[in-house]
Structure 1
């Protein structure tokens, strides 16, 4: 293609629409923008997160400044012709008057195209979470709990419960003066987590297959042990256990391990001002608290996943590796 870059994942879709071609193009461009593509005036090829082309619209022939139909490069691109032939090999190019299967045989493009059998389909076809009615995703500050919970919920039709940390009026104050605000901070978190989990998990959703949260109630005790003085913690612990016994417990507890330097980088990147005061020592204490908790849980109910060399947000293969570890499935079907 005339430039060096990562491999592309290509696919062809056959879409039915009553919209006029101009409006179809506008929608396509809006999708690209939402997915992070920035259009530049230069026509040179370059890597981009998404590139959607309108190839054909029935037998129409259109040539405007914004849109040319049929797409002028169809016959020169194997990565277009090969998936297009799988969609409809007998489709006739309205200008060249040749079937797609013939264009594929005649193309001068000798690029190597490797068919991906599962990567673009919903992972629920390959990874079975049906054994888990309640999945808790946990990890240190900045580990990526919310990102993973959101992705699993979307892919597996799960009810998503996210921690309402922004509603805690003491959070920013805590990082300014920990000694003064630790106890009200932890009490506020405990009350809100208890209320949210009690109400949201017990509220059955007929249209969802399971529940996914980006925290577990025991998080309260883990953080409180680090932040509170001994007398405060002993009082807090009594109250916690009274409340905790009324809450549903996760069927599977997923702990995302991330090394401290990466946590600090993630915290800096997401740009919450009050978090910029967080120190490595504090994160290490939190991690030790989580490990102590995990060790006390039945092994079949816990998954400790080392994501220190992963980027499951940007790299789908890393995301699938996590699903594999959660389910114990090879994912090779």
Structure 2
């Protein structure tokens, strides 16, 4: 499990459209670093250490799974993407964006590339004033004092002015949704995506316990004989698991994410059961479905049949290797019909046929942005 870290960053700009520069930096940090928890007011100050245009400065609080070194490299990349030109001179210069790592958890880091807490922060009012606004009671790891006390002891006498303009904080997934269900056909990657999202956004993870079902291997050997006991056992287990897990709110998690939704039981039952069996099954399902909490967001991962068969082969579960393309197509048709008819479900379909979100960060970020923008 990846650790959620808290970092405070300082952002400054004195060239071009300063508000736009800061907002663009915030959006990039949200996209590449982590969840932005707080943004200070904007403070206008004279250039510090050189003669230049006035600066706009802010501080932000971010939660991230990045390590300190990766965080620094990511911040430098963001500066570069936003047009900052690095020079070899050590003198202060005008810049369209400047991002500094001030604090990282309660850590003290002394390396060639990164010093945390930032070595100059206590000397600079343009850093300390916006920082104290969002982190007044945070303890400085070296001084062992609250930041608001450190500000009082700051000898910087330069004038600092809070301006009226405000920046927009990107709303994270964890604040938009209490419960997200990730669904898809066999081999679509729903479990992998659910795990990745839960780690990045500190979500309680609910995974389907398909591996514990004794009827599953038997079903793939003799579908007609084992279809009904398989689907009934899955239905009972899914109902019990979702009822228990969704009712237990974890104070240390931001929201809940599952790699299935109970309606998949009905979709698979439509494909596998005989008519009389399905009628009986549907009666049981309808009773349970009324009691289950509905997800705030239902994400369906679509993959074409060829890619599904490739994924199934690569993950190597012996009992799945004889799955036919016709069976997968029927399952997809069931999902499609469900999504089209279940109007009260907040559904988002993402085509991942050409994506490799497990191994390619860009593809993973594409999915995250789809969810954020939905």
Superposition TM-score tier, normalisation by shorter sequence: 0.5 to 0.7
Deviations along 1:180-199, whole A, 9 cap, x unmatched? 00000000100100100001
For the residues of structure 1 that align with 2:175 and 2:201, how far apart are their CA atoms?
9
Contact kept? 2:299, 2:348, Cα under 8 Å:
yes
Counterpart in 1 of 2:260? 215
Residue in structure 1 matching 2:291, options 240, 246, 249? 246
Q: Within the alignment, does 1:178 sit opposite 2:241 as a pair?
A: no
1:279-311 deviation per Cα after TM superposition (whole angstroms, max 9, x unaligned):
000000000000001112338711000000100
SS at match of 1:255: strand
Compute the TM-score of the two structures, normalised by the length of structure 1: 0.62
Q: 1:189 to 1:276 in 2, by over 3 A?
A: same
How many residues are treated as equivalent by the alignment? 219
3-state SS in 1 of match to 2:187: coil
The question of 1:275 aligning with 2:334 is answered: no
Query: How many Å separate the matches in 2 of 1:300 and 1:325?
Result: 17
Q: 1:139 aligns with which of 184, 207, 214?
A: 184
Render the CA deviation track for 1:7-63: whole Å, top value 9, x for unaligned.
xxxxxxxxxxxxxxxxxxxxxxxxxxxxxxxxxxxxxxxxxxxxxx9xxxxxxxxxx
Please say if 1:189 is aligned against 2:234: yes
Structure 2 CA distance for aligned equivalents of residues 277 and 188 of structure 1 = 22
Partner of 2:342: 297
User: Is 1:260 the equivalent of 2:305?
Assistant: yes
- Is contact 2:180-2:297 (8 Å) kept? yes
Change (3 A) 1:146 1:249: same
Root-mean-square deviation (CA, aligned residues, Å) is 2.8
Aligned-pair distance for 1:240? 0.2
Q: Is the 8 A contact 1:254 1:305 kept in 2?
A: yes
Q: Tell me, what secondary structure is at the counterpart of 1:181?
A: helix
Counterpart in the other structure of 2:41: none
Specify the alignment match of 1:327 in structure 2.
372
Cα separation, partners in 2 of 1:184 and 1:158, compared to 1, 3 Å = same
Using structure 2 for the length normalisation, give the TM-score. 0.55
Aligned-pair distance for 1:86?
A: 6.0
Separation in 2, partners of 1:265, 1:218: 25
1:85 Cα deviation after fit: 7.2
| Offset of residue 127 of structure 1 | 4.2
Change beyond 3 A, Cα 1:271–1:264 = same
Task: Give the structure 1 partner of residue 114 of structure 2.
Answer: 87
Deviation at 1:326, TM superposition (A): 1.1
- With over 3 angstroms needed to count, the CA separation of the structure-2 counterparts of 1:159 and 1:228, relative to structure 1, is same
Corresponding residue number in structure 1 for 2:355 = 310
Cα distance in 2 for partners of 1:147, 1:327 equals 19
Are positions 1:285 and 2:312 aligned together?
Answer: no
Distance, in Å, in 1 between the alignment partners of 2:174 and 2:205 is 15
Given candidates 198, 208, 212, the residue that maps to 1:153 is 198
- Give how far 1:128 is off: 3.3
Query: Which secondary structure does the structure 2 equivalent of 1:281 belong to?
Result: helix
Match of 1:303, SS state, is: strand
